[in-house]
Amino acid sequence: MDLQLTGKRAVVTGGSRGIGLAVADRLAEEGAHVALVARDRAALETAAARVRRHGTTVLVLPTDTTDDAAVRAMVGAVVGGLGGVDVLVNAAARPAGSAPVPALADLHDDALRAELETKVLGYLRCARAVAPHMTAQGWGRIVNVSGLNARRTGSLAGSVRNVAVAAMTANLADELGPAGVTVTVVHPGTTVTERTPAVLAALAEREGSTPDAVAARLAAGTSIGRLVTADEVADVVAFLASPRSAAVTGDAIAVGGGTRGAIHY
């Protein structure tokens, strides 16, 4: 299937590693020009070297999405460098950690503020900055990368930030839809990225187990019996970022390999 992304201009935040980098790479493979956004210039340059192999234009734009002025300047640079913006993929967020989840008595306000500032408000700032360009041209795609903590307990901060992203997505979809802009959210579960070996090792140490045993336990909780890779998440995001996805907006799409025993309708 031709996703009709050739020549589209995409911004991918969190694009220096993990799911964000996998998404940027897939979009470029489909013919899109990509602006890679993250805070670390060196990491972005390394990522850009990978993405440029597909032959499309790749911009490197170090940006802190907790700073609204920086976000607006980044979008201005994208419009200036690529001539506009068609796609925004929000993936710049603090990764779910392997550290123990704090009990209520130990959960400080600043811990939750940091999650909301980076993931929820960061995503909102980027959407707010690109929306006028998308609505003016009558077409656009915004895809927010959230997480399956939106559908389960276990991490108060993780659940709150991800539910908030889903709520923001639906509201933006209703507002921007009449102008031809769709807004969706994907919920990855535990995903295989370059961080996975260290995460599994930390969990194994905490549980008195082995990384292989931890991986097997996590995989057993999925319907497909294994962990999904960042590239597989990127395949779904690329579809949602494409003209082919016009019938999907405001909705949350789980991309964690299925959750055993759960029914969502």
Q: What is the pLDDT of residues 184-212, one digit of tens each?
A: 999 999 999 999 999 999 899 989 999 99
Distance separating the N- and C-terminal Cα atoms of the chain: 28
* Residues near 188 by beta carbon (within 8 Å), at least 6 away in sequence: 19, 145, 147, 148, 228, 233, 255, 256
Selection from 217, 188, 163, 180 nearest residue 91 by Cα: 188
**pTM summary value:** 0.95
Which pLDDT band, with edges at 50, 70 and 90, does 176 fall under?
A: very high
Residue 100 pLDDT more than 80? no
DSSP H or E stretch at residue 1: none
Residue 97's pLDDT is 60
Sequence letter at residue 258:
G
Residue 102's pLDDT is 87
Region of 228 on the Ramachandran plot (φ > 0 left; ψ -120 to 50 alpha; else beta): beta
Mean predicted lDDT score pLDDT of the chain: 95
Residue 138's pLDDT is 98
CATH of 9-189+230-254, one of 3.40.50.720, 4.10.140.10, 3.40.1390.10, 3.30.70.20: 3.40.50.720
Reduced to 3 states (helix: H, G, I; strand: E, B; else coil), residue 182 is strand
Domain-wise residue ranges, the chain: 9-189+230-254
Q: Give per-residue pLDDT as tens, 209-256.
A: 999 999 999 999 999 999 999 999 999 999 999 999 999 999 999 999
Which pLDDT band, with edges at 50, 70 and 90, does 98 fall under?
A: low
